[in-house]
Amino acid sequence: MKIICSKAELMKSINIVMKAVPSKTTMPILECILIDASKGVIKFTTNDMELGIETIVKGEIVEKGVIALEAKLFSEIIRKLADSDITIATDDKYQALITCENSKFNISGKAGDDYPYLPFVEKDHSISVSQFTLKEVIRQTIFSIAQNENNKMMTGELFEISDNILKVVSLDGHRISIRKIELKENYEHRKVVVPGKTLIEISKILSGEVDDIVNIYFTKNHILFEFDDTIAVSRLIEGDYFRIDQMLSSDYETKLTVNKKELLNCIDRATLLIKEGDKKPIIIGIDDTNMELKINSQIGSMNEHIEIQKEGKDILIGFNPRFLIDALRVIDDETIQIYLVNSKAPCFIKDETESYIYLILPVNFNV
């Protein structure tokens, strides 16, 4: 194999496929980038057996061929070479010679035949959204997936399509995040659970531009994202997602309107008094048009009040401050509505049209 690509093109493609190189694996071949120049285009592939990424690299094929090169080393060599054309040539012993201006690197590769190709995905059912929207919706929900694998379903996010609405849901047993996105067309009903790790990696390589489109295809076991010169295929999490509708109620006893930034900054300050691993709640007291926030720990105490608008009853309720912070950080509205029932019932942060709903369970506290 012999190919010539610009450093910029190589780096762009390497940065994309690196997202599916496993950090640890029992299959050394997966630590490689598969460079496939056997069929008229140069294609980079990586695959951690859950997520696989393939991207087309612009460049010239002088001699067709395939090789697998250790991803980290290959990436670092390319990054440190001069900003010029780079030639990658391999011999029949899988030795790769990487040449750029006066530099020559010689490294060992592996036969490409052993590399697990991406699963084939029938491109039947798809939806289109902008890369910006997909990147945003992941950011706005991903924090409330469960971190540990005890409940596999909680480590993923529900993607549910009904007519022209894409609903994305994540939950970890203490809170639920829901975002709804309006699509440009109507689609058949569909419900899949996408691994959180897939979404985290995908969102890193999405451009974030409103004008760039990503097509999403679904099969029974896989989801495929197609954008720019790249496709990313991921396994889905099998099984039925949690029934969240019965947890969502629109009854409330107290409704408040508060400046989001003021509330977020206040809670953020309060966390200074909580040591890692400590479970001190922040206690929120609503009294007329005043919200008082208090925290008391071994380190010290804090209290602060914020002006609010209120409908309904006064209330005293405690929360894990981290959960409030996570939700508030991803809401763009300047003022938000919070709905409360009593000190044992979940609180809802949501907008009028329910384009977002953040449900957070309260915690017990001693006054």
Instruction: Provide the binding-site residues for its own copies, judged by CB under 8 A.
Output: 73, 76-77, 80-82, 102-108, 265-266, 268-269, 272-273, 299-306
- Bridge-based pairing of strands 290-296 and 309-312 is unpaired
Query: Strand, coil or helix: what is 33?
Result: strand
- Bridge-based pairing of strands 254-259 and 309-312 is antiparallel
Kindly report the CA angle at 258 between 253 and 262, in degrees rounded to 5? 140
- Bridge-based pairing of strands 60-63 and 282-287 is unpaired
Which is closer to its own copies, CB of 105 or CB of 187?
A: 105
CA distances from 175 to 128, 137, 344, 358 (A): 29, 17, 14, 7
Kindly report the CA angle at 204 between 200 and 209, in degrees rounded to 5? 125
Q: Contact, 87 vs 37, CB < 8 A?
A: no
User: Closest distance between its own copies and the C-beta of residue 102, in Å?
Assistant: 5
User: Closest distance between its own copies and the C-beta of residue 301, in Å?
Assistant: 4
Q: Contact, 82 vs 71, CB < 8 A?
A: no
User: Closest distance between its own copies and the C-beta of residue 105, in Å?
Assistant: 5
Residue whose tokens read 């691993």: 277
Which is closer to its own copies, CB of 73 or CB of 361?
A: 73
Which is closer to its own copies, CB of 172 or CB of 304?
A: 304
User: Closest distance between its own copies and the C-beta of residue 266, in Å?
Assistant: 7
User: Closest distance between its own copies and the C-beta of residue 302, in Å?
Assistant: 5
Which is closer to its own copies, CB of 69 or CB of 154?
A: 69
User: Closest distance between its own copies and the C-beta of residue 164, in Å?
Assistant: 42
Distance CA 218, CA 194 (A): 11
Which H or E run contains 73?
Answer: helix 71-80
Which of 43, 40, 38, 39 minimizes the C-alpha distance to 10?
43
Which is closer to its own copies, CB of 215 or CB of 265?
A: 265
Which is closer to its own copies, CB of 4 or CB of 302?
A: 302
As a dihedral over the C-alpha atoms of residue 89, residue 90, residue 95, residue 97, rounded to 10 degrees, the angle is 0
Which is closer to its own copies, CB of 247 or CB of 299?
A: 299
Measured in whole angstroms, the distance separating CA 97 from the mean position of its chain's CA atoms is 37
User: Closest distance between its own copies and the C-beta of residue 71, in Å?
Assistant: 13
